[in-house]
C-alpha cells in the first residue's frame, strides 16, 4: 500500500508540538494532576501549617 | 458527524481559525482579565476585604480570652447570655459552640474593632443578618477581622454551617448603637 | 476473541463487554437518580416553610442522602458509562480489561450501598461534605472510599482502552473531539479521587479510633480538592455530550478542532484550581492563594467555557445554515427540532448552564463577593444550575438517544418525552432563580427552620424571603415531576418498549448483552477521519446568530457581576 505518494505533504509534514501534546493523554494526565497538586493542595497546606500560634 | 469522528485534517492544529472565533476569544480574554484584576483592585481601593490574620488556637485558650473580655466589660444579660460592651477600637471575641454564639456584643457605630472568631467544637458559620456578611468559623483557628459597623441596629448572627440537630437554634445577637 | 455488534440504525459499533458495562452503569445511575429525586421532594417540601414537611433529624438525613446519591452516585455511575462510550464505542475498539471494568462496577455498587446504609441508619447525617470534627459512622467513609477506588479503576480502564485503540490502529488521525473531552474528564477525575483518598482514608481511620485528630482546616482544603473537582469532571463530561449531540442531531462539525481542543486543554490545566471557591472566607489562607486559585489562574478556565459556549451552538448554526436555514439571525434556531428531547434537553442544558450556572459561579467565586454569598441558599441554587439543569439534563438528553441504540427498545410515551426537558428544566429554573433571590436576602443553606423555632435569641427574615423560598420550592416540585417523567419514559421503555431486536428481553435491559447471534468476532472497520470540508472562508461570520447570543451572555455577565460589587460595597467595611 504505497498510496502515500498521493498525499505527500500531508503525511510527511511533522505534527506540530501542540498537537502532539494534545494527542498524548498520559502527558496531559501528568500535567492535569501536577497543576492542582502544586498550586492548590501543596501551596494551600503550606499556608495552613505556617499559621502562627495564638499569643 | 464529526465531533465523534477523528478530525478531517491530519494536521488540524494548522487549520486556520475563523475570524468570528478569534474575535470572541479576544473579547472573552479581555473580560477574564477584568474579572481577575477586580480582586487586587478591591484589595487596594475597596473597603470589604478579609484580613488574613489568623492564629492556631485551642478551645480552652480561646474560651479564656472570651471570658476575660466578659469579666471586664459585661453590661447586662439577655436570655441568659452576657451582653458585653468593650471599648471602641479594642479586640472583641466571639465564640461559636453547640448551639450558640457567645456572648452578645454591643458595638459603637463607625468605630473600628478587631473581631476574633473561633469555634469551641464543630465548624460553624458566622452569618450576620440582615447585612449579610458570611464567614466560616473553624475549630482550632482564631480568625481576626477588622470591622467598622457603619449602620446602627440590632443584628442576628445565624449559624449557616450545618452543625447538628440544633443548628437552626444557633442564633446570636449583635448591637450597633449610635 | 472480542465480539462486536453494529447498530443497524446508527452504524455505531459495540464491543459486547463494553456494552454490558455501559448498560449496567447507566441503569444503576438511574436508580440513584430515582432515590435522589424522592429525597429532593422531601427536602424541597421541608424548605417550603409553609409546608415544613420533615422533622429536623429526618430533614438532615434526607439532605445528606440527597446530596450524595444525586451528586456522587447518579452522576459518577453515569459518567462511567460515558467514559466507556467515548472510548470503546466512539473509537470502535474493544474495551481494555473488561474484568477490571466489572471490578469498577462492583466496588462502586458495594460502596454506594454501604454509604446509603450508613446514612439511613441515622448516625451519619453529616452532609456530603462530612466536615470534621463532626463524625459519621465508619462505613459512611468506607463506602465512599470503595466507591472512589471503583471510579479510579474505571478511569484506568478508559485510559487502557485508548492505548489499545492506538496500538490496534482502530482509528485514523487524532481521537474524536468528544473522546478528547472525555479524556479531560478522566484526567480531572484522577486528581479528584486522589484528593478524596488523601482525606477520606485518614478520616475513616479517625472514625474507628486509629487517628486521634484531623485538622478541620486541612480537611476543608483537601476535601474540596475532591468536592469541587468532581464538579469539573461533570463540566468536561457534559460539554463533551453537547458536542456529541450537536454531531448526532445536526451532523455538526466543530467550528475549529484547534479552538475546541485548546479550550479543553485550558480545563486540564486550570479548572481544578477552582476548588478554592469554598475556602474564600476561611481563616489563615492568604489572599494570594485565594485569588490565584479561585480565578483558575486569571480565569483561563472561564475563557475555555466561554469558548465552548460559542463553538457548540455555533457548530449547530453552521450545520443548519448549510441545510438552507439561512433567513435572518435565528431561523436556524427557530427551526431546530424542539420536540426532540435529545436536542431540547441539550440546548436547555447549554443555556441554563451558561446563563445561570456559569455567571453565578464566577460571581460568587470572586474572593471578596463570596463574603455576601458563602453558605447561603444561593450556593445550592448555583450548583443546581450547573449539575442539575446542566449536567443531569445533558445526561438525560443523551439517554434518549441511547435507549433504542443500546437496549434495542423503542421509546414509549413519546409525547411525555417531548415535554420532559421543558418540565425539568423549567421547574428547576424556577427553583434556582428563587433560591438565588432568597440567598441574596441571607437565607442559609442546609437549614431546617427559617423561623428558628426554639432558639434563645431570634432573628426575622423579611417576608419576601419566605415567599421566594415558597415559589422556589414549588418550582422544585415541578422539577421533581420532570425527573419522574424522565424515569417513567426511560425505565418504561426498557421494560415495555417495542423490541427492535427479537432478543431484547427484560434482562437485556440490565446489563446483559443481546442474543449471541447479534455479535460477530470480525474486527470493525477502521474508523475513518471525518470527510473533508470544502474550504470554508475564515474571514466571514459563519454563525452570526450565535455571536449575538454570546454577546447577550457577556452583557448579562458584566451587568450582574458589577451589581454584586455594588451590593458588596454597601456592607460594613472589613479588613
Ligand atoms: C429533582 C429535582 C431536585 C430538587 C427539587 C432539588 C432540591 C434541592 C434542595 C431544596 C436542596 C437543599 C438546599 C439546602 O437546604 O441546603 C438541595 C440540595 C442539594 N442538591 Fe438537589 N434537587 C434536585 C435534584 C438534584 C440533582 C439531580 C442533584 C445532583 C446532580 C442535586 C444535588 C444536590 C446537592 C449536592 C445538594 C446539597 C446537599 C448539601 O448541602 O450537602 N440535586 N436540592
Ligand atoms: Cu453552628
Ligand atoms: Cu450551624
The number of residues in chain C equals: 575
Q: How far does the CA of residue B82 sit from the closest CA of chain A (Å)?
A: 25
Question: What band does C511 get if pLDDT is binned at 50, 70 and 90?
Answer: confident
pLDDT of A4 above 50? no
Per-residue model confidence (pLDDT) at position C510? 81
Residue A35: closest C-alpha in chain C? C269
Per-residue model confidence (pLDDT) at position C126? 96
Contact B51, C368 (CB under 8 A): no
Residues of B in contact with C461 (CB under 8 A): 129-130
d(CA C94, CA B33): 45
Per-residue model confidence (pLDDT) at position C544? 93
Q: Please enumerate in sequence order all residues whose Cβ is within 8 A of that of C530, keeping only pairs 6 or more positions apart, or say none.
A: B1, B2, B5, B6, B7, B8, C253
Q: Please enumerate in sequence order all residues whose Cβ is within 8 A of that of C166, keeping only pairs 6 or more positions apart, or say none.
A: none
Residues of B in contact with C536 (CB under 8 A): 18
Per-residue model confidence (pLDDT) at position A11? 56
Looking at the structure, do residues B109 and B41 belong to the same domain, yes or no? no
Please give the radius of gyration of chain C, using alpha carbons only, rounded to the nearest integer.
Answer: 23
Looking at the structure, do residues B30 and B84 belong to the same domain, yes or no? no
In the numeric block, which cell numbers belong to residue C312? 457548540
Question: What band does A2 get if pLDDT is binned at 50, 70 and 90?
Answer: very low
Contact B78 C457 (CB under 8 A): yes
Q: Does C214 touch chain A (CB under 8 A)?
A: no
Looking at the structure, do residues B71 and B95 belong to the same domain, yes or no? yes
In the numeric block, which cell numbers belong to residue C3? 465480539
Per-residue model confidence (pLDDT) at position C354? 95
Of A10, A16, A54, the CB nearest to B55: A54
Residues of B in contact with A52 (CB under 8 A): 55-56
Q: Give the DSSP letter string of B110-149.
A: T--EEEEEEESSS-EEEEEETTTEEEEE-BTEEEEEEE--
Q: How far does the CA of residue B35 sit from the closest CA of chain C (Å)?
A: 7
pLDDT of B155 above 60? yes
**Overall domain count for chain B:** 2
Q: Does C561 touch chain B (CB under 8 A)?
A: yes
Contact C489, C417 (CB under 8 A): yes
Interface mutation vs chain C, best among A6, A26, A29, A32, most C CBs within 10 Å: A32
d(CA A12, CA C425): 50
Looking at the structure, do residues B35 and B86 belong to the same domain, yes or no? no
**pLDDT (tens digit per residue) in C322-368:** 999 999 999 999 999 999 999 999 999 999 999 999 999 999 999 99
Q: Give the DSSP letter string of A2-53.
A: -GGGGSHHHHHSPPPHHHHHHT-HHHHHHHHHHHHIIIIIIHHHHHHHTPPB
pLDDT of C1 above 70? no
Q: Report CA dihedral (C414, C416, C420, C422) to the nearest 10 degrees.
A: 100
Cis peptide before A42 (omega within 30 of 0): no
Q: Report yes or no on B6 lying in a domain.
A: no
Looking at the structure, do residues B60 and B102 belong to the same domain, yes or no? yes
pLDDT (average), residues B15-44: 95
Report the 10 Å Cβ neighbour count for C168. 15
Cα of A8 from ligand 2 centre, angstroms = 71
Looking at the structure, do residues B160 and B125 belong to the same domain, yes or no? yes
Q: Report yes or no on B2 lying in a domain.
A: no
Nearest ligand to the C-alpha atom of residue B121? 2
Nearest ligand to the C-alpha atom of residue B165? 3
CA distances from C413 to C204, C336, C491 (A): 46, 21, 11
Name which of C49, C51, C53, C19 is nearest C39 in CA terms.
C53
**pLDDT (tens digit per residue) in C175-234:** 999 999 999 999 999 999 999 999 999 999 999 999 999 999 999 999 999 999 999 999
Look-up of cell digits 453537547: C242
CA distances from B37 to B44, C9, C77 (A): 11, 52, 39
The CATH number given to whatever domain includes residue B134 is 2.60.40.420
Helix (H) or strand (E) holding C526: none
Q: How far does the CA of residue B40 sit from the closest CA of chain C (Å)?
A: 8
Look-up of cell digits 492535569: A32
Contact C75, C234 (CB under 8 A): yes
**pLDDT (tens digit per residue) in B79-107:** 999 999 999 989 999 999 999 999 999 99
User: Which residues share a beta bridge with B113?
Assistant: B147
Looking at the structure, do residues B119 and B147 belong to the same domain, yes or no? yes
**pLDDT (tens digit per residue) in C542-562:** 899 999 999 999 999 999 999
Looking at the structure, do residues B61 and B93 belong to the same domain, yes or no? yes
Query: Is the model's pTM score more than 0.90?
Result: yes
d(CA C453, CA B165): 12
Looking at the structure, do residues B156 and B110 belong to the same domain, yes or no? yes
Contact B158 C179 (CB under 8 A): no
Per-residue model confidence (pLDDT) at position A8? 45
Asked which of B152-156, C252-256, C479-483 is least confident by mean pLDDT, the reply is C252-256
Interface mutation vs chain C, best among A7, A19, A21, A25, most C CBs within 10 Å: A25
Report the 10 Å Cβ neighbour count for C414. 14
Q: Report yes or no on B7 lying in a domain.
A: no
Per-residue model confidence (pLDDT) at position C298? 87
Q: Which residue has the higher pLDDT, C452 or C506?
A: C452
Q: ipTM of the assembly?
A: 0.96
Helix (H) or strand (E) holding C556: helix C544-569
User: Which ligand 1 atom lies nearest to the CA of residue C445?
Assistant: 16
User: Which ligand 1 atom lies nearest to the CA of residue C44?
Assistant: 10
In the numeric block, which cell numbers belong to residue C494? 426498557
Contact C76, C152 (CB under 8 A): no
Helix (H) or strand (E) holding C461: none
Q: Report yes or no on B163 lying in a domain.
A: yes
Per-residue model confidence (pLDDT) at position A6? 42
Question: What band does C458 get if pLDDT is binned at 50, 70 and 90?
Answer: confident
Q: What percent of chain B clears pLDDT 90, i.e. is strictly above it?
A: 91
Report the 10 Å Cβ neighbour count for C1. 8
B67 burial (CB, 10 Å; 0-12 / 13-18 / 19+) is middle
pLDDT (average), residues C157-182: 95
Alpha helices of C85-215 — where are they, by DSSP H?
98-121, 138-167, 177-207
Contact B55 A53 (CB under 8 A): yes
Span between the terminal Cα atoms of chain C, in Å? 68
In the numeric block, which cell numbers belong to residue C247? 454531531
The response to whether residue C143 sits with its C-beta less than 6 Å from ligand 1 reads: no
Q: Report yes or no on B172 lying in a domain.
A: yes
Provide the b/e sequence for C118-135 (b: ≥16 CB within 10 Å): bbeeeebbbbbbbbbbbb
Q: Report yes or no on B5 lying in a domain.
A: no
Dihedral sign for Cα atoms in the order C236, C242, C243, C245: positive
Looking at the structure, do residues B25 and B103 belong to the same domain, yes or no? no
Contact A47 C284 (CB under 8 A): yes
Contact B112, B148 (CB under 8 A): yes
Contact C408, C499 (CB under 8 A): yes
Contact C459 B46 (CB under 8 A): no
Residue B34 lies in domain: 12-45
Question: What band does C535 get if pLDDT is binned at 50, 70 and 90?
Answer: low
The response to whether residue C44 sits with its C-beta less than 6 Å from ligand 1 reads: yes
Look-up of cell digits 426554639: C454
Question: What band does A1 get if pLDDT is binned at 50, 70 and 90?
Answer: very low
Looking at the structure, do residues B78 and B132 belong to the same domain, yes or no? yes
Q: Please enumerate in sequence order all residues whose Cβ is within 8 A of that of B2, keeping only pairs 6 or more positions apart, or say none.
A: B8, C176, C177, C247, C252, C253, C254, C530, C531
**pLDDT (tens digit per residue) in C302-313:** 999 999 999 999
Interface contacts A/C by beta carbons within 8 Å = 90
Q: How far does the CA of residue C381 sit from the closest CA of chain A (Å)?
A: 25
Per-residue model confidence (pLDDT) at position C536? 65
Interface mutation vs chain A, best among B7, B9, B13, B138, most A CBs within 10 Å: B13
Of A35, A44, A51, the CB nearest to C289: A44
Looking at the structure, do residues B82 and B124 belong to the same domain, yes or no? yes
Name which of C112, C563, C127 is nearest C372 in CA terms.
C563
Contact C435, C381 (CB under 8 A): yes
Distance of CA C429 to the CA centre of its chain: 16
The response to whether residue C477 sits with its C-beta less than 6 Å from ligand 1 reads: no
Cα of B161 from ligand 2 centre, angstroms = 6
Q: Does A20 touch chain C (CB under 8 A)?
A: no
pLDDT of A9 above 80? no
For chain B, give percent helix, strand, coil, nearest 5: 25, 40, 35
Q: Report yes or no on B170 lying in a domain.
A: yes
Name which of B117, B114, B171, B110 is nearest B141 in CA terms.
B117
Q: Report yes or no on B66 lying in a domain.
A: yes
Average pLDDT value over all residues in chain C: 94
Contact A22 C174 (CB under 8 A): yes
Residue B78: closest C-alpha in chain C? C457
Cα–Cα–Cα angle for C303, C305, C309, nearest 5°? 115
Amino acid at each position: 500500500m504505497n498510496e502515500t505518494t498521493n498525499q505527500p505533504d500531508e503525511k510527511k509534514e511533522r505534527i506540530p508540538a501542540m498537537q502532539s501534546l494534545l494527542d498524548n493523554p498520559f502527558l496531559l494526565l501528568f500535567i492535569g494532576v501536577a497543576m492542582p497538586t502544586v498550586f492548590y493542595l501543596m501551596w494551600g497546606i503550606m499556608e495552613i501549617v505556617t499559621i502562627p500560634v495564638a499569643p | 458527524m464529526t465531533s465523534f469522528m477523528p478530525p478531517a485534517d491530519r494536521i488540524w492544529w494548522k487549520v486556520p481559525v475563523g475570524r468570528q472565533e478569534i474575535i470572541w476569544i479576544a473579547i472573552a480574554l479581555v473580560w477574564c482579565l477584568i474579572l481577575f484584576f477586580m480582586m487586587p483592585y478591591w484589595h487596594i481601593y475597596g473597603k470589604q476585604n478579609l484580613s488574613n490574620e489568623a492564629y492556631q488556637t485551642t478551645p480552652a485558650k480561646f474560651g479564656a480570652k472570651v471570658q476575660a473580655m466578659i469579666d471586664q466589660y459585661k453590661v447586662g444579660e439577655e436570655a441568659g447570655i452576657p451582653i458585653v460592651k468593650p471599648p471602641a477600637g479594642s479586640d472583641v471575641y466571639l465564640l461559636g459552640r453547640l448551639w450558640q454564639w457567645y456572648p452578645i456584643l454591643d458595638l459603637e457605630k463607625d468605630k473600628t474593632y478587631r473581631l476574633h472568631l473561633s469555634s469551641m467544637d464543630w465548624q460553624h458559620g458566622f452569618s450576620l443578618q440582615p447585612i449579610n456578611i458570611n464567614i466560616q468559623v473553624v475549630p482550632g483557628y482564631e480568625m481576626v477581622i477588622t470591622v467598622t459597623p457603619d449602620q446602627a441596629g440590632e443584628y442576628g448572627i445565624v449559624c449557616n454551617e450545618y452543625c447538628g440537630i440544633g443548628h437552626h437554634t444557633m442564633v446570636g445577637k449583635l448591637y450597633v448603637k449610635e | 476473541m472480542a465480539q462486536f455488534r453494529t447498530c443497524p440504525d446508527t452504524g455505531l459499533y459495540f464491543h459486547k463487554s463494553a456494552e454490558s458495562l455501559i448498560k449496567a452503569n447507566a441503569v444503576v445511575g438511574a436508580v440513584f437518580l430515582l432515590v435522589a429525586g424522592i429525597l429532593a421532594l422531601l427536602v424541597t417540601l421541608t424548605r417550603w416553610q409553609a409546608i415544613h414537611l420533615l422533622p429536623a433529624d429526618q430533614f438532615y438525613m434526607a439532605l445528606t442522602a440527597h446530596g450524595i446519591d444525586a451528586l456522587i452516585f447518579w452522576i459518577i455511575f453515569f459518567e462511567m458509562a460515558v467514559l466507556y462510550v467515548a472510548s470503546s464505542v466512539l473509537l470502535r475498539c474493544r474495551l481494555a480489561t473488561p474484568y477490571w471494568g466489572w471490578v469498577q462496577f462492583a466496588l462502586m455498587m458495594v460502596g454506594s450501598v454501604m454509604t446509603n446504609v450508613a446514612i439511613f441508619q441515622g448516625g451519619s447525617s453529616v452532609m456530603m461534605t462530612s466536615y470534621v470534627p463532626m463524625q459519621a459512622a465508619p462505613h459512611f467513609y468506607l463506602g465512599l472510599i470503595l466507591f472512589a477506588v471503583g471510579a479510579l479503576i474505571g478511569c484506568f480502564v478508559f485510559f487502557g482502552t485508548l492505548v489499545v485503540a492506538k496500538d490496534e490502529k482502530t482509528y485514523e488521525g487524532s481521537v474524536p473531539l468528544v473522546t478528547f473531552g472525555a479524556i479531560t474528564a478522566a484526567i480531572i477525575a484522577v486528581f479528584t479521587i486522589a484528593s478524596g483518598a488523601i482525606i477520606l482514608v485518614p478520616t475513616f481511620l479517625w472514625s474507628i479510633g486509629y487517628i486521634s485528630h484531623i485538622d478541620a482546616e486541612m480537611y476543608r482544603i483537601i476535601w474540596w480538592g475532591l468536592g469541587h473537582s468532581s464538579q469539573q469532571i461533570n463540566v468536561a463530561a457534559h460539554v463533551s455530550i453537547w458536542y456529541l449531540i450537536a454531531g448526532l442531531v445536526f451532523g455538526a462539525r466543530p467550528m475549529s478542532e484547534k479552538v475546541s481542543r485548546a479550550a479543553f486543554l485550558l480545563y486540564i490545566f486550570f479548572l481544578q484550581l477552582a476548588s478554592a471557591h469554598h475556602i474564600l472566607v476561611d481563616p489563615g489562607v492568604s489572599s494570594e492563594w485565594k485569588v490565584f486559585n479561585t480565578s483558575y489562574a486569571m480565569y483561563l478556565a472561564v475563557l475555555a467555557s466561554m469558548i465552548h459556549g460559542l463553538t457548540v451552538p455555533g457548530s449547530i448554526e453552521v450545520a443548519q445554515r448549510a441545510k438552507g436555514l439561512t433567513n435572518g439571525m435565528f431561523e436556524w434556531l427557530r427551526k431546530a427540532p424542539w420536540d426532540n428531547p435529545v436536542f431540547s434537553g441539550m440546548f436547555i442544558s447549554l443555556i441554563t448552564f451558561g446563563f445561570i450556572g456559569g455567571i453565578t459561579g464566577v460571581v460568587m467565586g470572586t474572593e471578596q463577593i463570596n463574603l455576601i454569598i458563602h453558605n447561603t441558599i444561593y450556593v445550592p441554587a448555583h450548583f443546581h444550575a450547573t449539575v442539575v439543569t446542566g449536567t443531569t439534563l445533558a445526561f438525560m438528553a443523551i439517554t434518549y438517544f441511547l435507549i433504542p441504540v443500546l437496549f434495542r427498545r423503542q421509546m414509549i410515551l413519546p409525547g411525555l418525552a417531548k415535554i420532559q426537558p421543558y418540565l425539568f428544566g423549567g421547574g428547576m429554573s424556577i427553583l434556582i432563580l428563587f433560591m438565588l433571590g432568597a440567598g441574596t436576602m441571607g437565607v442559609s443553606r442546609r437549614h431546617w427552620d427559617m423561623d428558628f423555632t426554639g432558639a434563645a435569641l431570634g432573628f426575622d427574615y423579611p417576608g419576601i424571603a419566605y415567599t421566594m423560598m415558597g415559589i422556589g420550592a414549588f418550582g422544585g416540585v415541578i422539577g421533581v415531576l420532570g425527573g419522574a417523567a424522565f424515569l417513567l419514559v426511560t425505565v418504561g421503555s426498557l421494560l415495555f418498549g417495542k423490541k427492535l431486536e427479537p432478543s431484547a428481553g427484560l434482562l437485556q435491559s440490565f446489563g446483559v448483552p443481546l442474543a449471541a447471534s447479534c455479535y460477530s468476532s470480525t474486527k470493525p472497520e477502521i474508523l475513518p477521519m471525518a470527510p473533508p470540508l470544502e474550504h470554508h472562508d475564515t474571514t466571514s461570520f459563519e454563525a452570526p446568530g450565535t455571536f449575538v447570543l454570546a454577546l447577550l451572555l457577556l452583557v448579562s455577565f458584566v451587568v450582574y457581576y458589577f451589581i454584586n460589587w455594588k451590593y458588596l460595597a454597601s456592607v460594613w467595611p472589613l479588613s
